[in-house]
Amino acid sequence: MSDVKKVTLSHAIKTISGTVVLTGSKSESNRALILQALSQGSVRVSNLSEAADTVTMNEALSLAKRSSTNNERTTIDIGPAGTAMRFLTSFLSLATGSFELTGSARMQERPIKLLVDALQAIGAKISYAAHKGYPPLHIDGPLDQTETAVAIPGDISSQYISSLLLLAPALPKGLTIHIEGELTSKPYVTMTLDMLRESGIEYQWDQQTITIPAQSFGQATLYVEPDWSAASYWYAMVALAKEGSLFLPGLKKNSLQGDIAIANIMTHFGVHTTFQEDGIFIQKATLTREPVFLDLKECPDLAQTIVVIAAALRIPTTFTGLETLKIKETDRIAALQTEIGKFGCKLLEHDGIYKLVTSEYVVPDELVISTYEDHRMAMAFAPLALHFPLVTIEEPAVVNKSYPDFWQHLQEQQFTLT
């Protein structure tokens, strides 16, 4: 798919069944790799994600390690990998060496000033190579820690907070983080702290303050659970199929991942989840079509999938908690509004509340979806091939960022790809 400009999907029988084996969670994998590097091998990782973002993170950490004896500035290009940009900004501040951390054109438009400000406040030597507040960054490590506490807003990106938390136990004096305002995507911060604890790190979380003393990592093996974000697309397919049931091995009821919220959310869209010892079984159930209100501030990566499902099924749905979508791989709000408009639906915003309007819904002969260099746009809209006659996805290789086997898995479920 790497050289393919578009792929057209159809599904003759509109029914799916069987088993889909998902790759490891990208979110867990990227945290685990940072912990492994900071622990100097005490922490090991199993079931690492095959996602391009995780491959990029692994390669960047290897390059940073090799560069520790190099007196020249080493360029680390993470492409479109947003998590890698945030986590490596902190990691490289403590690494030995001089680095330029850069990324794709879109990555250089994504703000990072709040994280840089926080790191500079505790002694990190970071400067902007081009535009203030944005990558590329020049980072000279290791930092000489000057402060033991830092404040950072909680409503911009939880990855800033997770980046600092991962670094904290390896800092000479530890770190106290004061979270200002409401914490967005709280489950991702909880995931980070749970993985730190699994790695032998103790912490205290008291209301808006998290304290992690300087300490050594324990001997640990972090098992990466399959990706609940990837599972969400299969929930969409079950919802949109005439008949659908799937087994997804390895997913757990006590998951660290906030996107497990999809299991509860999809009860509104006619999908029932049964948690089993070795995975989950999802099955099409009765659809009530009652109005739905969803606050997605703790699971914003599910937004595109859910908006598309709700629009296709014409279920009146109201959303809040979508503030962070405008600074992702693309402006996901604008992208959604444009693409669902191609089958007559609208997503209207007023004071942070988004309402889905489906009164002008139409069934196109062929739906052509732009992906905006965003993996989740491709995967959120692909399930519509179970609902419309033909769906064409432009730039299908974007899925490699988080779910490289996506198109192969669709073919195994009797989708036709041309």
Catalytic residue numbers? 301
Nearest 10 degrees: CA dihedral of 351, 355, 360, 365? 110
Angle 74-150-76 from CA coordinates, rounded to 5°: 15
**DSSP output for 246-295:** EEEET--TT-S-GGGHHHHHGGGGTEEEEEETTEEEEEE-------EEEE
C-alpha pair distances (Å), 289 with each of 297, 306, 319, 336, 415: 23, 14, 16, 21, 27
Residues in Cβ contact with 41 at an 8 Å cutoff, skipping those fewer than 6 apart: none
Q: How far apart are CA 262 and CA 122, in angstroms?
A: 38
Token couple for 152: 């950072």
**DSSP output for 363-407:** --SSEEE--TT-HHHHHHHGGGGGTSS-EEEESGGGGGGT-TTHH
Helix axes of 82-94 and 158-167: crossing angle, nearest 10 degrees: 30
Backbone angles phi, psi at 87, to 5 degrees: -70, -40
**Do residues 276 and 316 lie in contact, with contact meaning Cβ atoms separated by under 8 Å?**
no
